[in-house]
Structure 1
Amino acid sequence: MTTSHPSPHTRASAVLPEPWGSLLQRANQIARTSDMKELYRATLALLMDVAQAEAGAMYQYQSDVHEVLCHVAIHPQARGVGECYPLEFGLLALQPENPEIAWYPQVQEEEDWPRTPGARLYPNAQSLLVVPFASQGRLIALAELYNPQKTPYPELSFLAERLVSELDKAAGIFARWRDNARLQALIAVIGELSSTLDKDRLLRLLITYAAELLNAEASSLFLLEDESRELVLHLASNWKEVPVEKVRIPADKGIIGHVVSTGETIITHDTQQDTRHYQQVDRSSGFLTHSILAVPLRVQSITLGEDLGQRAEHIIGGLEAINKRIGRFTQQDANLLTLLANQAATILEVADLYTDANDLFLGVIQAMVAAIDAKDPYTEGHSRRVSEFSIAIAQEMNLPPDFVHKVRIGSLLHDIGKIGIPDEILRKPGRLTDAEFARMKEHPTIGARIMAQVHTLQEELPAIAEHHERLDGTGYPRGLRGEEISLLGRIVAAADVFDALTSDRPYRKALSAEDALAYLHQNIGSHFDPECVEALTRAYLKEKVRTQKERIALQRALDEL
């Protein structure tokens, strides 16, 4: 049976295993650790020493999927490291809502022990001490101490309170590293997609990358056959035994059938518990499905003739990622697979119509920059507006269409480097300190380094690297002067400042378009190229350019009609 646990405050008589000063010194030494794995290992080792535990394991809590990831285990037969464990059941199930130290002196008699991570990591444990690390009631990490000789609540609580902020920061750094790695991989996909218009090769690349990016065992692409109204497996990764075209699903059957018929995204952690799962596919392929993430393939059909330009969206199939290797599929996984599904649908619709491969991944670029802009609510839509302003400038300057296309792509990507800037700087609701601004000034260099990997975007790089340069050399990151700054860089610089000045910021209200243009004119020759500023002014007077405020006002007026 579960033992009721006294709070740390009721255990004033607990024997301290060592002086508090020494304990704090050891915790401070651990807090200086920059490596996440070592931070978890050292923290667990200290807890085990304090409680004189025989073995232990430590987990990071992942709230989006309600599971824990084991970062370290210290015991003779260490296993389970790197694996994820759901928290719906087991002795850790209540910790996310009510994080407190829990003591189970006869853990083998606990009904929920078999469904607790420790039952797999240290199955012969006789007792268990659970130590949560929580900040303002928000669970960050958990430690399991097996067969402890002591239960020093005050000391364990003290250590948890001292080290939780370090574990929280480490989790944030880990998340940014993971997101950056995915961005790098996604950029590689874009580079591959831009290299060919062969439809089958492009789709094969998509499903291969879908499995790799989501760390899934396999991925599959189903298309809806018009005549039979069946879903036919068009392509699949990691299926070698059965020809994929022989796998068919009735349109109203299976998880993929539900996705195609409703347009919903579905995440199923256990297909055996989901009555929608179509078992026949597993029997036909010999591939055992445990979990699925499925998204629809949406296309925009363009009506030709009398109703030229009319668009209608419809669903032509679905894309699946199957069997997450570690942990569960997350909403971030769903967003990424949706991005790839949209790209797949685009390829299916336009591969035979376009000769310029760059058009195939423009939507992906827009989605990437929108995600980066959305990290700061005050810059949402910024990259799209800067692109529109830059295009208007280039067109007013009568630049050739191929250069205007480079302006479109380069200006969309101009702030891509902000993926490498910490969220606490991007979202700071006030002016940045000198140190924070110095970090922010790194984003042009970071962005140029990231996008330099895409060989088809080399001519667009100046928009990313030079949009904060100024004609008098006072800009950054390189302090370029005059003609050292490319025309592309000068165009985006003017558009970027115009949108920044005419948009609200936490520390000031937006300027009117007239005041913003006046500022640009005042700084012609020192900061901005005169031709670019004049072209932007002409575009605004012709109503080719609308500021953020003007767009909002126009939309409100339309909504009231």
Structure 2
Amino acid sequence: MQFQVVYQDVTEHRQTEEKVRKLYSLQTAIRYINESLLKVGDEQALFEQVCRFLTDVEFIRFCWIGLTDKESLEVKPVAYSGFEDGYLSSLKIHLVNNRGPVGEAIKTRQPCTVADIENDSRFTPRREAALKRGYASSLAVPLIHDAEVIGVLSVYSGSKDAFGDAEINFLVEAAGDIALGISTLRLRRELQQSFSSVGKALEGTVSALASVAEVRDPYTAGHQQRVTRLAVAIATEMGLPQEQIEGIHVAGTLHDVGKLHVPAEILSKPGRLSEIEFNLVKLHAQAGYDILKTVEFPWPVAQIVLQHHERLNGSGYPQGLKGEDILIEAKILAVADVVEAMASHRPYRPALGMGQALDEISKNSGTLYDPEIVDVCYKLFYDKEFKFD
């Protein structure tokens, strides 16, 4: 009698250990799944990783994920892991008249457990195929996204009655993680598509504005694009964040849009400008700001345009800003603008050449122009062989 009690205690202890080991391995798989949610870039990668993590659990022989197809009204497998051996190729699950565990899980929106595949009538059509592959029990859990069942997570074990309440709870959590991953990835994709559409519309608007300004000033046709290329190259070489570089690109493309308010005959005058005429030209920075200030750019475009003629020592216009009061983006545009303008032809003078343009920014480095920006600009032309065209 005493031997029987000891044997029973040992057996129960081993069963408890086995149960703890099963649940720990499931918990580990769930942790890996949660971590993968932060890393995967698309749904297919998510599905494949989930299946692989779950079949790493010792008692899970096979796992697959299927998504509902509204057109065919079927559940279509999209990923699997474990011992499949052609099982899915013969699997046809119709959403309307399917009485199997997968169909039941989808209809009831609840997990469906089959403790003994060999003797459960719900497995009648596929019993032989399942038993042949060593499947003894199964669990199907619906994937619910935005209150709609979009698919199913289905797992199989080589042991009967492998899915108790604790195992079911863990796998329901896994299904929730999958649904959350799907929701996150689809939202991310929608946002990217939205940003892409907005970006294209914004790019078109920016280009149109820039073109209108250059039509009125044919001598600076292409000036804004060339200044933008150099400014973006400088910002990139300086290691500025991509978002900031994008702002410089937009501001560079529009930095002379305020010339729409300057009389065309002044812009194209072949001789030197009088003081009054030059003061009218200088108004283009403020005019550009006034045009752009109500546009909700994700960058301080209007301020950059306003400040691109400011100088470190306060001798610039229109506000006479000094040093750190000037945006770094405006400082970059200032250097790019001067270099391009001096190197190009103007109505009142021929092109002065790149050598003289670079001498200008070098001579006034630290006085008019930011020294770091000047050094990077020099490096681009002499070491990296930057060219405008």
**TM-score calculated relative to the size of structure 1:** 0.34
Greater relative contact order: 1 or 2 (C-alpha under 8 angstroms, separation 6 or more)? 2
